[in-house]
Chains A and B, each alone.
Chain A
Amino acid sequence: MEQTSSGWPQAIGRIGTRNITDSFNTIVNIAPEIDEQHQIRQWLSPLEPQYRHQGVRTDRLNGVGQWVLETSDFRRWSDAEGDCVEPVLFCYGNPGVGKTYIR
């Protein structure tokens, strides 16, 4: 399934034959198979982090924090394979240093 920029499958926008607007003014598609997918997603978690992610992506300034991705530590974490894998990367810093906005 293709992903839209908001993180939702495009199919949700396309397949709909019957849309209703719920009390929060979001459009709910009630085509049966989509409805089941929607229910399963809700069942898995009520959280929708893609909205926050969209905001971060929009506000992010190109190139800022790029240096992190070029450090040998970052590369070691992202590129390692086989036995020398260190699976966890922890980036730490005080409020406002830009932790959220690393690309």
Chain B
Amino acid sequence: MVGGVYCDFHAQQEQSARNMLGAILKQLVIRGGIPEQIREAFQKAKNEFGGRSPPLPDMVDILKRTITSLPRVFICIDALDECPQQHRRDLLGSLREIVAVSPNIRVFLTARPNIDHEIVRYFIQVVRIPLSPTHADIKSYLKMRLDMDPDPDAMDAKLLTDIMRIIPEKISER
């Protein structure tokens, strides 16, 4: 099963660690229906806490138990750098807790390079891959954009050749 969230500068307030983990949990239980333990926790919250959403430690606990019941789980979090630092710390701390007890989990994170040191602080073993588009990637993208050109006859062959040669050279580092 795969669960993921996209962090967004424009949604910082609602993207708390709790809400993000809750969104991941929702995706993990989509296929098998809502597990009994979540249903019970929901009823309890409804009866005793006025329906308040589960606090972060409870959410982490529910996630751990849900993940244990699944064969293999991938958690993807895009653009961690767009998440405010406090939420990011809570999220990374929670993920560390979950990873420690879940051998069947893989966590996929993306971010700008400037938060590398934070991630390394939370996880002992991190596989790190630097990303930059390849020549072939840039060319595919350019071709797609050129195919969308509403007035292709306005471009002569030389300009087309130059675009396909020069832009990939200038952009690609690989």
Contacts and interface: CB of A to CB of B under 8 A. Distances in A.
Contact of A86 (B25, B34, B111, B127): B127
Nearest to B42: A40
A53 B77 CA distance: 12
Interface residues of B, number: 61
A37 B34 CA distance: 7
A35 to B, nearest CB: 12
Given A61-B141, A77-B127, A41 B26 contact: yes
Contacts of B23: 44-45, 47-49
Interface residues of A, number: 50
Contacts of B14: 46-47
Given A93-B131, A102-B131, 10 more contacts: A40-B38, A43-B45, A45-B18, A87-B123, A89-B127, A90-B128, A92-B130, A98-B133, A99-B79, A100-B110
Interface of B: 4-6, 8, 11, 14-15, 18-23, 25-27, 30-34, 38-39, 42, 45, 51, 53-54, 59, 78-79, 95, 99, 103, 105-113, 116, 119, 123, 125-134, 136-137, 140-141, 144
22 contacts: A1-B31, A1-B32, A40-B39, A44-B38, A47-B11, A49-B27, A67-B134, A68-B131, A73-B128, A76-B127, A88-B125, A90-B110, A90-B116, A90-B126, A90-B127, A91-B130, A91-B131, A92-B129, A92-B131, A93-B112, A100-B79, A102-B131
